[in-house]
Chains A and B, each alone.
Chain A
Amino acid sequence: MALILTVDDSASMRQMVSFTLKGAGYDVVEAEDGQKALDASKTRKFDLVVTDVNMPVMDGITFIKHLRTEANYKFTPILMLTTESSSDKKAEGKAAGATGWIVKPFNPDQLLAVVKKVLG
């Protein structure tokens, strides 16, 4: 089953995402900031990355930039979690190499739909 990396500094959000995706049969790894996410990406190969933008230590955009330089992750779908008012973040994210975005707040069903869409 596909392996998904979820990155968010909010434990409750990570739990919700994790629980939702695991329930649908995906394997999930959690990271609480961009740096930890990068470290995790070096030890395992993820099929999809879902990341928040505002995080301490390393924010989502920087994380995406770095991740895209990894050979293993050139083509991996990366989704950002954005809020509706940050259209500039979307552009920034895309410029950094993000595949797309999910707008917060979202409910589990919406999350699953997007993930299924991307992973097939």
Chain B
Amino acid sequence: MSIDMEQFHQVFFEESFEGLDIMETGLLNLDSGEADNEEINSIFRAAHSIKGGSGTFGFQNISDFTHIMETLLDEVRDGIRELTHEGINILLKSVDCLRMMMTATSEGGDVDEAEVKTNFEALQNILDSESAADTPSAKQDAATSESDQAPVGWKIKFAPHKNFMQFGNDPVRILRELGGLGDLKGQVDTSKVPDFDDFNPEDMHLSWDLMLTGNVSKSAIDDVFAWVEDESDISITPLSVVKEESAISSAEKKTASKKPVATAAAPAAAKTTEKKEKSTAASSSIRVGIDKIDDLINMVGELVITQSMLSLLGEDFNMTRLEKLQEGLIQLDRHTRELQESVMQIRMVPISFTFSRFPRMVRDLSEKLEKNIELVMYGENTELDKTVIEKIGDPLVHLVRNSIDHGIEMPEDRVAAGKPEKGTIQLNAFHRGGNIVIEITDDGKGIDKDIIFQKGIEKGLVDPGSKLSDQQIYDLLFNPGFSTAAEITDVSGRGVGMDVVKKNIMSLGGAIETHSVKGQGTIFSIRLPLTLAILDGQSVSVGDDNYIIPLVSIVESVRPKKEMLNMVAGKGETYKLRDEYLPIIRVRDLFKIPDAKADQLEEGLLVVVEADGKRFGVFVDDLLGQQQVVIKSLESNYKRIRGVSGATILGDGSVALILDIPSLIRMSD
């Protein structure tokens, strides 16, 4: 039978990529002297697994490459070899190379052979440089040499030792196998079997005198005995032409159709995988702790119980059972909410997945720029939604690169400024009030507000005379017009500017704040909602329509007074709230709602919202309740509508639209 191995490929690649991560972290720790024996072992094991798996599944080139890494790591683990900083660098580069090979193979692309060769040679050099130079051979030991001259037959004496059985070996199996090679005849020798009183059934006292005729090579016979050499006495001598007839032994003569496979077999042919449609970055599977699944199962169980209880109540309902019904409904509410929370929990993944790439990145980049930088990470266990994790990676990378490139000064400059030569970058993640906050802090030279302000004027983003708050000045950094292509250095490059960072964060429903002290350092603080699919909303009515405004955007609500209304040139209607003039957004007009009840401001309500650091007043008819809503897509079946970020289904089954505050603001400009 031939089994299609491809079904195991995906798991193999997934676990191999994880293995590469383990290797990388381990090597980094090795470099900084923080690795213990167990860590060294796990680096070796990871390489060993990848080598074994890739060979089994037919990726011979990966197997060969990993083999040489494994050989090197084996020496390190055995204490024969100590790795230098250079050696670790080479191994780290090899890990990169292996990643490249795996990505290419799993996606059906081309492997960069030049890179493979370079790394292979570098590894080979290390191995050759000192004593323990294993010859990395990807081929199996050729234990079977096929060129034995087969005589007419063999005389075999097979005498298992007393403890033969305790190795789980079965002499009958051996005989059966021999029988499959040719014509087997023989006799069992029971002379050594003790008397019944002394007889221990766990011991082996039998031996066999056998004759095997046919075109059988010695090595084939050796193979049969390969496993049991140490626990038996075997003699194999070629037969002369005259065979002795003997009683057929009690051995079965079932034919074993294949040659024994205990020794090496030819490696499976390397099969090129077909080009798969692989989704980039986002993998379609997720690892979930068994405990989370167990919780879920329990909760569903409770829910089912409650549901059947209610169902029963409903079958034969009368008013005397009203209280029970109410109790049941309360329970249902509770169980449903718990279930909902649990399910959302499943998508929660610790941020360590995203953070894990940074030690390597900081190390490589600071070496390249000749800066001395230490990375400290906190809160790696902080969990966030899987989709958020996938999308927050790139922005974080860019911000960290920015800190390394523009934040931390050159060592000389730091010393001259009275700072420690080693700069520190901190990554910190924690939960705060229904959000997750990620902070990137550096003790570098900080942001010079004046320079930013000047540059903003130069780029025409700011009026020379305007007064900007600190936050507004820092926000200029994130303005698309701020940095030119020339300034996106190779280091922070890839065409990802700060504006894209901000856009990505905002598309996740989050926000970014900057704090800085010139000469001391900078903090970038990113706030993200814990989950994407659920929203805390304020329900409002405009005419006959209900809309939901995300609570996270709402500052406060006021009952407007007519006299506070102003028309300001260039800004339209504004409302004076304390010291601020808030531009007013009339939903009724923007959405052309025909039957809005409130026309005059004082007949309705003003919901003060904030977006992009600016505040606006959204004019609605009435405030309804606050509730948690599940965000449903409007685009799945329809299309994106300006001013609307999605829809939700209310308790009564009707649809309510969720307002997109930034979009509304843009619409009203």
Q: Check whether chain A touches chain B (CB < 8 angstroms).
A: yes
A102 and B262 within 8 A (CB): yes
Chain B residues lying within 8 Å of A97, measured Cβ to Cβ, are 166-168
Cα–Cα, bound, A105→B63 (Å): 10
Contacting chain A: which of B49-57, B106-114, B295-303, B309-317? B49-57
A54 and B167 within 8 A (CB): no
Q: Confirm or deny: B199 has a beta carbon within 8 angstroms of a beta carbon on chain A.
A: no
Cα–Cα, bound, A100→B8 (Å): 26
Cβ < 8 Å to A, chain B residues 1-52: 1-3, 5, 7-9, 11-12, 15, 41-42, 44-45, 48-49, 51-52
Cα–Cα, bound, A54→B43 (Å): 12
Contacting chain A: which of B169-177, B181-189, B243-251, B613-621? B169-177
Q: Confirm or deny: B134 has a beta carbon within 8 angstroms of a beta carbon on chain A.
A: yes
A10 and B42 within 8 A (CB): no
Instruction: With A12-B15, A98-B168, A102-B262 given, name 5 new contacts (CB 8 A).
Output: A12-B12, A84-B264, A85-B134, A105-B57, A106-B56
Cα–Cα, bound, A72→B9 (Å): 36
Q: Confirm or deny: A65 has a beta carbon within 8 angstroms of a beta carbon on chain B.
A: no
A10 and B3 within 8 A (CB): no
Interface residues on chain B, size class: 35 or more
Cα–Cα, bound, A35→B11 (Å): 23
A84 and B227 within 8 A (CB): no
Q: How many residues of A contact B (CB 8 A)?
A: 47
Chain B, residues 219-247, CB within 8 Å of chain A (1/0): the string is 00000001110110000000000000000
Known: A9-B45, A13-B56. A117 touches B167 (CB 8 A): no
- Most chain B CB inside 10 Å of its own CB: which residue of A9, A20, A94, A105: A105
B265 and A103 within 8 A (CB): yes
A120 and B173 within 8 A (CB): yes
Cβ < 8 Å to B, chain A residues 74-109: 74-78, 81, 83-85, 91, 94, 97-109
Q: Which of A52, A84, A99, A102 is close to B167, meaning CB atoms less than 8 Å apart?
A: A99
B11 and A78 within 8 A (CB): no
A15 and B166 within 8 A (CB): no
A117 and B173 within 8 A (CB): yes
Chain B, residues 278-294, CB within 8 Å of chain A (1/0): the string is 00000000000000000
Q: Which of A10, A15, A68 is close to B49, meaning CB atoms less than 8 Å apart?
A: A10
Q: Confirm or deny: A1 has a beta carbon within 8 angstroms of a beta carbon on chain B.
A: no
Q: Confirm or deny: A19 has a beta carbon within 8 angstroms of a beta carbon on chain B.
A: yes
Chain B residues lying within 8 Å of A54, measured Cβ to Cβ, are 44-45, 48-49
Cβ < 8 Å to A, chain B residues 138-187: 140-141, 165-170, 173, 176-177
Chain B residues lying within 8 Å of A3, measured Cβ to Cβ, are none
Q: A-B pairs with the 4 shortest C-beta distances?
A: A105-B55, A100-B227, A12-B12, A99-B168
